[in-house]
A and B are shown apart, each in its own frame.
Chain A
Amino acid sequence: MKKPNDIILRAVTNVAVVIILTFAIYLFLAGHHNPGGGFIGGLAFAAALTLLFLTYDIDSIRANFPFDFKVLTAVGVLIAVFTGLGGILFDKPFLFQAFDYFNLPIFGKTELATAVLFDVGVALAVIGTAMVIIMTISEDR
């Protein structure tokens, strides 16, 4: 393949990826009260990785994210299932989500919800799935 002259793309990507990743994490955390959540956050994260991937080659992504995305997907699904099982331990239905308010230092009165843990599973599964598909197809030469 001819090496493209993509200096502008690279320069933009380096900055944009940081912004997108930050935004993805914000989206994920904001989900409880504002637009966002695990699904969108995960997808935005995957979009950032995809951008990196389009700009650089696959090996540099592998070097920077040295984990197996298949495993990541499975871990995500397992987290979701196990947070669901947590409800059963307290004699509540499967996937029962609890929340309460705590007074934490620095943050002050903060709401902590088990739903966030479930959302972590969703986000990981989404990132993993998107990346597995994209990387597998692109490696198929």
Chain B
Amino acid sequence: MTMLHIMILIPFVFAIFVPLLYKYFNKRLHSGWFVILIPIIIFVYLLQLIPKISSGATIYETIPWIPSFGINLDMYVDGLSLIFGLLITGIGALVILYSIYYLSKEKEALHNFYVYLLLFMGAMLGLVFSDNILVLYVFWELTSISSFLLIAYWYEREKSRYGAQKSMLITIFGGLAMLSGFIMLSMITDTYSIREMFAMSETIIAHDLFLPAMILILLGAFTKSAQFPFSIWLPDAMEAPTPISAYLHSATMVKAGIYLVARLTPIFGGTAEWFWIISIVGLITLLYGSFNAVKQIDLKGLLAYSTISQLGMIMSLLGIGSAALYFGYGNEAAVYAAAITAAIFHMINHSTFKGALFMVVGIVDHETGTRDIRRLGGLMTVMPITFTVALIGSFAMAGLPPFNGFLSKEMFFASVVKVTEMDVFNMETLGVLFPIIAWVASVFTFIYSMILVFKTFRGKYKPDRLEKKAHEAPIGMLISPIILASLVIVIFFFPNVIADLLLVPAVSAILPSLIEEGVLNIHISAWHGFSAELYMTIGVVVVGTIMYLLLKKWTKVYRLYPQNLTINALYNNSLETSQRIAASMTNKYMTGYTRDYLAYIFTFFVLLIGGTLIITNSITIDLTNDAPVNIFELAIMFSMLVAAFTILLAKSRLTAIISLGVLGYLVSLFFVIFRAPDLALTQLVVETVTTALFLLCFFHLPKFKEQTQKHKKGVPFKPLNLIISIAVGAVVTVFAFSANGTQIFEPIASYYEDSYELAGAKNIVNAILVDFRGIDTMLEIFVLCITALSVYTLIKLRFSRREK
């Protein structure tokens, strides 16, 4: 257990105590004050790692989890994971601070909220620090699950449940695809360690499974990071409380896909497939997101599409940057390494300004009761501080100076311009589209940034259309957005502090070969002459302003696209269809009759056991070594047969049950003859208790007679059931004989004979039950417990429903 492991596991451990703290302190103190300590502690811990990591060192700690399968908690800190760790905990602390004022402690189920939030935080930390891909996968799915729980936090709203289900279905689908990709990777490399895979990059790329593994893993990354066409879940995820939208759905969780792509770049990077898939998907997402953001009337919807678009931009930068690994060294590589730098830099910037914007929107929602752009307006004078933060955030998002978004946007433009000069990967065919798409998308980004700030805060103040009387938010709620907004400005003026401390180690983690070459020279400056990227920015501002002013004239284009052809419609239709098909399939075999289910179970049993016996050709009936059958056994056998036939032909239930009891007692007599007193005793008592149970159930069953009267010759005869019963009997008999006649392995019985020395018990049966195979017994009593509780719930809940 090292410090690093403790830091990653603290959120999980603390989550256990949150409900207790909530229970005892909630009246006096908002639970968030306890929870906020966790991200602060981890943040401080990670901060003090910066000097070490930025000097080029890495930290690797491991503790065994399932060592027999090579699955260990291998935690690895390098520049890339450190940035993510800092974002997760830093933004996490600010979001929790914000949530303390956003969520009322009187009305909200805060214990649930903070448990889910801590669960997410721990999972996300585990995700970015895991070196073992299977552990990474486990944490990956855990983030999906906690995101699901948080989106459905107000689960009484139908939209919340819909959004939660949608995000779950899409991200888990991607997660499973990613798992199979990981398994393929580990099949190729025979390791689970990502770092060991780096060294085998050439083997992986030459392997047949390279392309499928890559595509499957990218599916995971694209679904998580809301890339087109999987982006549809993100706008619906906005049903979550705003702190969650700010935290999970803009700053951290949706960046997990970015992280994965960046993390695996040393393995796949430098290939044409990786380059094309990621940059094209990224660019399409960028355009799709920014184009759709403009038409949103819900502020959070606008931010959701804007997040999609920004994620697409970062993704495309990672795609472009991966070309650096193709060149490997020299100035050519350095040019593309700049794209990777831009990606990581923009990711940090995006977390700051988007986090601030989400919090601003949350404040507007909280103080006015609506997020509808059409009802808002003129809030500038009412909420001056909020307006300032919104202005900073929006201008940074639009890529204007003096805000950090300008720097990374310029770097983005520089990269897409540079990439047109590339002469590999068939770049000459489509390469020219890169800067065009980037520029068009940036124009839309500019427009929606302006909509966000000016439609909300300028224009006419319409107090009659707001649900509450608007006023400035309490200071506690403003602290977090103010901190983020100041960062936006600070980063603009001192970008190279971040570059030296965080970006260089991160880029060197993504492009390790470049570090050895010494070509990595990251220097970010706001002013670099009248270059192509500056003209592009000026063009964006000019065209964007004109289009924003003429907004009403051209928004009709959004109505041109038919609603039933959207991806959302496709998702809804396929969900509905699959539910309908599943329901009709289930209704076909779930008849509600125990007798039918028994028939299924027995048929399956016969097919499985009987089939295995025949396929493996293991039917051996060898009676030569068996003991002779004596007269007592024969007599008991005969009595059992009589009892069994009595059950079949019984005219009343009482007779049937008593005969069943007779059968059971006779079986216990067999145990006595074969000297198994424990079994005999158990059988006797079980038989007694079950007979009593049967008698109790009598009360609820329809009369036996009434059933039989409909059919003159007793219970209707069903040939299929006869065949199944005979088959079951035959299979069991053959199976028993064969098991007795075949010995593939050394019998383990001799081990148990030492029970007195090993377990201090002379009764082997009991020693087996409580000691040698204690887990079996434990799980058996679990089953008993579950059975008892289900009988109880089935009967008692049925009652309460009827009473309603």
Contact = CB atoms under 8 A, between A and B. Distances in A.
A97 B689 contact: no
Nearest to B792: A136
**SS of A interface (majority):** helix
Contacts of A113: 759-761
B685 A44 contact: yes
Contact of A73 (B759, B763, B785): B785
Given A40-B678, A43-B682, A43-B685, A122 B766 contact: no
A38 B699 CA distance: 31
A4 to B, nearest CB: 14
Contact of A35 (B763, B781, B787, B789): B763
A73 B788 CA distance: 8
Nearest to A125: B781
Interface in A94-141: 94-95, 97, 99-100, 111, 113, 115, 118-119, 121-122, 125-126, 128-130, 132-134, 136-141
A103 B384 CA distance: 82
A30 B574 CA distance: 62
Interface in B768-790: 769-771, 774-775, 777-778, 781-782, 784-785, 787-789
A84 B759 CA distance: 15
B65 to A, nearest CB: 15
Interface stretch (A5-13, A59-67, A75-83): A75-83
Contact of A140 (B682, B700, B760, B762): B700
B634 interface: no
Contacts of B775: 84, 94-95
Nearest to B777: A122
Contacts of B582: none
* Interface size classification for chain B: 35 or more
A34 B681 CA distance: 12
A32 B777 CA distance: 15
A57 B45 CA distance: 66
B693 interface: yes
Contacts of A21: none
Given A73-B785, A115-B759, A36 B681 contact: yes
A46 to B, nearest CB: 6
A129 B788 contact: yes
B696 A36 contact: no
B691 to A, nearest CB: 10
A50 interface: yes
A100 B759 CA distance: 10
Given A80-B778, A136-B795, A111 B685 contact: no
A98 to B, nearest CB: 9
B545 to A, nearest CB: 67
Interface in A68-95: 69-70, 73-74, 76-77, 80-81, 84, 94-95
B791 interface: yes
Interface string B686-710: 1011001100110110000000000
**SS of B interface (majority):** helix
A128 B788 contact: yes
B793 to A, nearest CB: 9
B781 A121 contact: yes
Given A46-B689, A137-B795, A39 B769 contact: yes
A137 B697 contact: yes
A16 interface: no
A40 B781 contact: no
A34 B762 contact: yes
A18 interface: no
Contacts of A99: 759-761
B718 interface: no
Contacts of B767: 115
Contacts of A33: 761-763
A137 B774 CA distance: 31
Interface in B733-776: 759-763, 765-767, 769-771, 774-775
A77 B782 contact: yes
Contact of A97 (B774, B788, B791): B774
B774 A36 contact: no
Contact of B785 (A77, A94, A97): A77
Contacts of A111: 760
Given A77-B785, A129-B788, A136-B791, A37 B766 contact: yes
A44 B682 CA distance: 9
Given A35-B681, A137-B795, A97 B781 contact: no
Nearest to A35: B677
A115 B769 CA distance: 10
A112 to B, nearest CB: 9
A137 B693 contact: yes
B757 to A, nearest CB: 11
Contacts of A115: 759, 761, 767, 770-771
B796 interface: yes
A77 B765 CA distance: 21
B770 A134 contact: no
A27 B766 CA distance: 11
B791 A133 contact: yes
A25 interface: no
Given A39-B769, A70-B792, A97-B771, A129 B787 contact: yes
Nearest to A101: B760
B181 to A, nearest CB: 34
A38 B586 CA distance: 41
Contacts of B782: 77
A115 to B, nearest CB: 4
Nearest to B772: A97
B766 to A, nearest CB: 4
Nearest to B695: A54
A13 B693 CA distance: 18
Contacts of B799: 140
A33 B782 CA distance: 26
Among A54, A84, A130, residue most surrounded by chain B Cβ atoms (within 10 Å): A130
Contacts of B765: 35, 37
A34 B682 contact: no
Nearest to B773: A95
Given A32-B761, A33-B762, A97 B778 contact: no
A130 B689 contact: yes
Interface in B422-478: none
A33 B795 CA distance: 41
A119 B781 CA distance: 11
A110 B288 CA distance: 79
B787 A133 contact: yes
Contacts of A84: 774-775, 778
A41 B6 CA distance: 45
Contact of A43 (B677, B686, B759, B792): B686
B789 A70 contact: yes
Contacts of A32: 760-763, 766
Interface in B178-221: none
B700 A95 contact: no
Contacts of B763: 31-37
Contacts of B761: 32-33, 99, 113, 115
A137 B791 contact: yes
Contact of B770 (A47, A118, A130): A118
A32 B678 CA distance: 12
B681 A40 contact: yes
Contact of B788 (A31, A44, A133): A133
Among B681, B688, B696, B781, residue most surrounded by chain A Cβ atoms (within 10 Å): B781
Interface in B324-364: none
Given A31-B763, A40-B682, 12 more contacts: A34-B762, A39-B682, A40-B678, A40-B681, A43-B682, A47-B685, A94-B775, A95-B774, A97-B774, A113-B760, A125-B781, A137-B693
13 contacts: A31-B770, A34-B763, A37-B770, A39-B777, A43-B686, A97-B759, A115-B770, A129-B781, A129-B788, A132-B791, A133-B791, A137-B693, A138-B696
Interface of B: 677-678, 681-682, 685-686, 688-689, 692-693, 696-697, 699-700, 759-763, 765-767, 769-771, 774-775, 777-778, 781-782, 784-785, 787-789, 791-792, 795-796, 799
